[in-house]
Homo-oligomer: A and B are copies of this chain.
Amino acid sequence: MQQKLTIGMLSKQSDVKVETIRYYERSGLLPIPTRSASGYRYYDGEDVKRLRFIRRGRSLGFGLEEIRSLLQLADQPQQPCHEADQLVQAHLAEVDAKIRDLQAIRNVLEQLAGCQSQTAAHCRLLEALEERVCCSTR
């Protein structure tokens, strides 16, 4: 019952690009696949699952090394999941910090948007970058 998927089919089923799949193989995140006589990679349903796992982890912003740990853990259901929970906590904190940084940037950019100057001499952005105290500073 093992369906033989080529890398292109796996790509479509997992929504991961062909080049990226080969990259994950090189990185050791995917098992070395069987090959056809002519050297084509063959995959099955397990590979689809594993790749979708990776894709979802990536879309939550986990790095490949973190995902490597999570894959290992997923293969050992009776192990404690402490490590996974720690990754979630740490990653949540990271994401929060990034959001705060971006909010701060956003606030500055909003002030700089809608410049009325027309010329560079008193452009809001340029005055800000030059730390020039001038018309746009208020």
Closest partner residue, chain B, to A108 (CB atom): B60
Given contacts A88-B113, A106-B96, contact A81 B120 (CB under 8 A): yes
Once bound together, how far apart are the Cα atoms of A2 and B65, in whole Å? Answer: 50
Closest partner residue, chain B, to A53 (CB atom): B129
Interface size class of A (residues with CB under 8 A): 35 or more
Q: Are A78 and B121 in contact (CB under 8 A)?
A: yes
Given contacts A78-B121, A81-B119, A126-B73, contact A106 B95 (CB under 8 A): yes
Q: Are A79 and B113 in contact (CB under 8 A)?
A: no
Tell me the A residues contacting B by CB distance below 8 Å.
Answer: 49, 52-53, 56-57, 59-61, 70, 73-74, 76-81, 84-85, 87-89, 91-92, 95-96, 98-99, 102-103, 105-106, 108-110, 112-113, 115, 117-121, 123-126, 128-131
Besides the known contacts A88-B109, A96-B106, 10 further A-B residue pairs in the complex with CB atoms under 8 A apart: A53-B130, A56-B128, A60-B105, A74-B130, A77-B120, A81-B117, A84-B126, A85-B113, A89-B113, A99-B99
